Amino acid sequence: MTVNVQDRRWTRPEQNGASGDADISDRFAKEALTFDDVLLTPGYTEKLPSEVNLSVRLHPRLQLHIPVLSAAMDTVTESELAISLARQGGLGVVHRNLRPEDQAEEIDKVKRSESGMIVDPITLPVDASLADAEAVMSRYHISGVPITSADGKLLGILTNRDVRFATDYSRPIGDYMTHQNLITAHIGTTLADAQEILHRYRIEKLPLVDEGGYLKGLITYKDILKRQDYPFSAKDEKGRLLVAGAIGVGDSGLARAELLIEADVDAVAIDTAHGHSKGVLETVAAIRKRFPELPILAGNVVTPQGVRDLVEAGASVIKVGVGAGSICTTRVVSGAGMPQLTAIAECAMMGRRLDIPVIADGGIRYSGDITKALAVGASAVMLGSLLAGLHESPGEIVIREGRSFKEYRGMGSLGAMRGRASDRYQTAQFARESASPDISGKTVPEGIEGQVPYKGQLRDFMFQLMGGLR
């Protein structure tokens, strides 16, 4: 169908940000593509798939071994999936549909899951009860706790073996802890030396102390094994797994960011549907001013100008994609968006000029889509639906007609927005400020809820996905 647009004019109100009249033919002057529209032409190579290096550095503090981030969605990323993904070399972004304190606790679980040396180990006082110790070990999935005095001096250690046959959990842990002939090492002991000590004395935990006997760290046999089992884990300079946390905009976003930083989060992701907006730019600038070295992932945008403005505000990494997700209905509801491959290519071009990486967020259904996204300039991809069906994702397994599924919903779905995600789509403030009693307090969903097939363990799935990419 041919539409004659000659002599037609399109006027957008000034208050919506338009500069005035614009020829509608200019608005539809270019063709835009998505993943299914293109294929890559095979070329000559001398490398085997097994020789391909997939590592990427998004920031000096964000070195990944695979170009994969998990979406900040409440049916995709909490601590369990973030831990598993980091062990494979990726980066999990813990969603913000939680109370800030609960999200910070999820971050803390990831940071404490393993370490070359635990520099701030969890401890208990000698007068704590066995019930207290059991609660701490269960919460952090650990098998022992150092016992210290009020000023931090090591008094002993309590392990699962010490309480295996205990019946009265109101008793103080001082009655059960190991305190005589306690094996310790001095601060500065290497992992190789620690492994030899652990093996020699047949113990699993080695407290590190200074000359005065004060606890300064902890090395566990389990952490040493994890280093061997997951040699390509994404870790910080202290040997802890990398993890990011999603935040919103405004004062609440800043307050959430502060809590996450206290939990040692490695990066924050400003999580909004439309990142090229005043609120997002101001939030990025405020966080950059307060935390100059913190990696900031910001988005989502689909235009080069959006990339430039976010970078000038202080963003470290840009997320690209509006309405591209499989369960996102933003394009249908709002009429806004851009085909994802074109958006990635144009934003990546601006990113290269500014020396800033971009992440393709949304629309990835197959490993081949990752290849296409990287080919047009993305440094990494953010996955939602592909990870939602994994064992480590939040939610229970549902059996339907003999098949296993897991719940998956967009953060713009009604269920998610009834939680804490409405401000992601900037509807909460509108509802509060609306002068109409008919729409005040209501939200406009831009996503749907559904189920995805259960896919098993992340480790096996990621092996297949990265194999296709290679």
Q: Is 409 a catalytic residue?
A: no
CA 468 to chain centroid, in Å, comes to: 23
What pLDDT is recorded for position 327?
57
Set 96, 328, 409, 420: catalytic member: 328
Average pLDDT by stretches of 10, the chain with 470 residues: 37 45 60 92 92 96 98 94 98 96 96 84 94 90 91 93 88 91 90 91 92 92 88 92 97 97 97 92 98 96 97 98 65 71 97 98 93 97 94 89 82 50 47 38 52 93 95
Spatial distance between the Cα atoms of 171 and 161, rounded to a whole number of angstroms: 16
Spatial distance between the Cα atoms of 357 and 349, rounded to a whole number of angstroms: 10
Q: Is 328 a catalytic residue?
A: yes
Sequence ranges of the domains in the chain? 36-114+233-394+453-469, 124-229
Please indicate whether the domains covering 36-114+233-394+453-469 and 124-229 agree at the CATH topology level: no
What pLDDT is recorded for position 398?
87
Spatial distance between the Cα atoms of 216 and 102, rounded to a whole number of angstroms: 27
Spatial distance between the Cα atoms of 241 and 44, rounded to a whole number of angstroms: 37
CATH number of 124-229: 3.10.580.10
Look up the pTM and report it. Answer: 0.80
**Tokens describing residue 408:** 């998956």
What pLDDT is recorded for position 9?
36
What pLDDT is recorded for position 227?
86
Please state which of the four CATH numbers 3.40.50.2000, 3.20.20.70, 3.90.850.10, 2.40.30.10 is assigned to the domain occupying 36-114+233-394+453-469: 3.20.20.70
Set 87, 96, 240, 424: catalytic member: 424
What pLDDT is recorded for position 261?
98
